[in-house]
Amino acid sequence: MIIPRAEHPISRTLISDNALKVLYRLRDAGFASLLVGGCVRDLMLGHEPKDFDVVTDARPEQIQEVFRNARLIGRRFRLAHVHFGREIIEVATFRGLPAASSDPEVHAVHGADGRAEPTARESRRAQQADYNIFGTQEEDALRRDFTVNALYYNIRDYAVMDYVGGANDLKEGVLRMIGNPHARYREDPVRMLRVVRFAAKLGFLIEPQTAAPIRELGHLLLDVSPARMFEEVIKLFHGGYSVETYELLRTHGLFRYLFPATEDSLATESDGFPRILLPKALASTDTRLDEGKPVNPAFLFAAFLWEPVRQRMDQLVDEGMKDQDALRHAADAVLRDQQRHISIPKRFSFPMREIWELQLRFPRRHGKGAERLLEHKRFRAAYDFLVLRAASGAADPELAEWWTRFQEIGPDQRKTMVRALTPATADRPKRRRRRRRTTDREPG
Ligand code: ATP
Ligand code: MG
């Protein structure tokens, strides 16, 4: 189906200048030249696209001839990145349908191995394999995931092209898998996470047949590489709709395959802390994104894994370990298990552990303790985490308030605040009491 310019809302003023340059240059070189995927979907809805993806019938080598600033990436399926300063326009050749055998993780080139530069030998091999990888525009549409993601905007006549009923589904607010949902999730289990992400972000309904196999096939996520899972998890929870996403993941039984220990702790916890702490952490992430503030995966993972770490730490403390050692051991154990599912790069797992470690230092405010903590480079994130814990009943609200005040005042007043601490409030009686209370209620 072709939707002419007059019957859809996409105007060129909403498309980035660099994307337009790429589209026109390809067209002028005689190639098919279209926008596709999320950007067309978002433009049709009147949203601002995150990035612009271009497809063409030009082969990767031909794309490179048209653009001096293009770099070919990907080993198996090669595509071009056209660089304009910080903006990258991705240009892909139409892809054909996979041969009889399935072609798993067809889009994994966007992730892990897509970053790598192919060697000369790999490029030769890729060129030889090209003839059965590339296809027509219609074939390209059929191997995309959801109908609303398979719309094309053609720069030749400014029309939108729809092979799979995506325009109608967009109008009705429906996410529908192209082809047989069961088979397409098997082909690439990450599509289960994608459908949830789009449902949360767009507020769309997952069409029943598209939703049905998810519960049964969720376990296939265990076979996805932890590196790709990390990228997907960031997209899930740093997209601005993490509260809705989290709820949908749990509704469809997928959350357990992302954070198994967290799922277990949600079932065993007795005071409702993680149930409240997690949504609060996610809500604050969404708010920050909405306000244009930066968000850090370290904080996200600190929130997701805190409850399993805390439970394990309590056990070790009961067995007689000092709390800082117990925390270190618990963090090691929980992180080791978690990395089998989602590989968290060191640059995030390290600050995540610091956020946890500082939680133990907040109650110790005597002498120079408080001043020193204030200067710690992870203070701000750790303080935000303390506030979250307090708001969800997992830490003493008076302690959080004390730290809030402590930051706002001058050095002289700080000294007065520290001096005003009685030995009883300066130590950690509240936490100790609370901890014993939680453990007491646990069976066994
Ligand atoms: P976003 O707004 O998050 O960028 P998007 O739809 O653009 O959403 P991308 O991951 O950028 O998602 O992928 C671009 C397009 O590539 C998708 O719209 C879809 O057509 C296709 N695609 C991406 N991943 C897959 C997949 N796993 N299986 C099939 N098609 C996919
Ligand atoms: Mg995109």
Give me the pLDDT at residue 366, please: 86
What do you get for the CA distance between the two ends of the chain, in Å?
65
Among 191, 151, 188, residue whose Cα is nearest residue 53: 151
Which ligand sits closest to the CA of 240?
1
> Measured in angstroms, how far is the CA atom of residue 436 from the centroid of ligand 2?
49
Among 113, 114, 119, 124, residue whose Cα is nearest residue 92: 114
Give me the pLDDT at residue 97, please: 83
Please tell me the pTM assigned to this model.
0.87
Residue found by looking up tokens 């003493």 in the block: 396
> Measured in angstroms, how far is the CA atom of residue 38 from the centroid of ligand 1?
6
Confidence band of 439 (pLDDT split at 50, 70, 90) = very low
Q: Pick the residue with more confidence: 269 or 55?
A: 55
- Do residues 403 and 411 lie in contact, with contact meaning Cβ atoms separated by under 8 Å? no
Query: What is the distance of C-alpha 51 from the center of its chain?
Result: 16
Residue of 57, 113, 145, 396 marked catalytic: 145
Q: Which of 34, 48, 51, 53 to mutate to test the pocket of ligand 1 (most atoms within 8 A of CB)?
A: 53
- Residue-range domains of the chain with CATH: 1-96+134-166 (3.30.460.10), 240-421 (1.10.3090.10)
Q: How many whole angstroms separate alpha carbon 33 and alpha carbon 31?
A: 6
Mean pLDDT of the chain: 88
pLDDT above 60: residue 88? yes
Residue 53 annotated as catalytic: yes
pLDDT above 80: residue 99? no
Give percent of the chain above pLDDT 70: 86
Give me the pLDDT at residue 98, please: 74
Q: Which of 144, 164, 188, 228 to mutate to test the pocket of ligand 1 (most atoms within 8 A of CB)?
A: 144
Write out the two tokens for 278. Answer: 């997690």
Region 114-120: what's the mean pLDDT?
48
Question: What are the tens digits of pLDDT across the range 137-161?
Answer: 999 999 999 999 999 999 999 999 9
> Measured in angstroms, how far is the CA atom of residue 40 from the centroid of ligand 2?
9
Confidence band of 435 (pLDDT split at 50, 70, 90) = very low
Residue 314 annotated as catalytic: no
Which ligand sits closest to the CA of 152?
1
Give me the pLDDT at residue 276, please: 85
Pocket residues for ligand 1 (CB within 6 Å)? Answer: 37-38, 50, 53, 106-107, 110, 144-145, 149-150, 188, 190-191
Residue type, 176: R
Question: What are the tens digits of pLDDT across the range 299-322?
Answer: 999 999 999 999 999 999 999 999
Residue of 42, 53, 57, 162 marked catalytic: 53
Which ligand sits closest to the CA of 198?
1
Give me the pLDDT at residue 368, please: 86
- Do residues 182 and 219 lie in contact, with contact meaning Cβ atoms separated by under 8 Å? no
Give me the pLDDT at residue 272, please: 59
Residue type, 159: A
Region 66-89: what's the mean pLDDT?
89
Confidence band of 131 (pLDDT split at 50, 70, 90) = low
pLDDT above 60: residue 106? no
Ligand 1, atom 12, residue with closest C-alpha: 38
> Measured in angstroms, how far is the CA atom of residue 149 from the centroid of ligand 2?
9
Residue 264 annotated as catalytic: no
Q: How many whole angstroms separate alpha carbon 70 and alpha carbon 53?
A: 14
Residue type, 77: F
Give me the pLDDT at residue 74, please: 84
Question: What are the tens digits of pLDDT across the range 332-381?
Answer: 999 999 999 999 999 999 999 999 999 999 999 988 889 899 999 999 99
Write out the two tokens for 348. Answer: 């995030």
- CB burial class (10 A; 0-12, 13-18, 19+) of residue 121? exposed
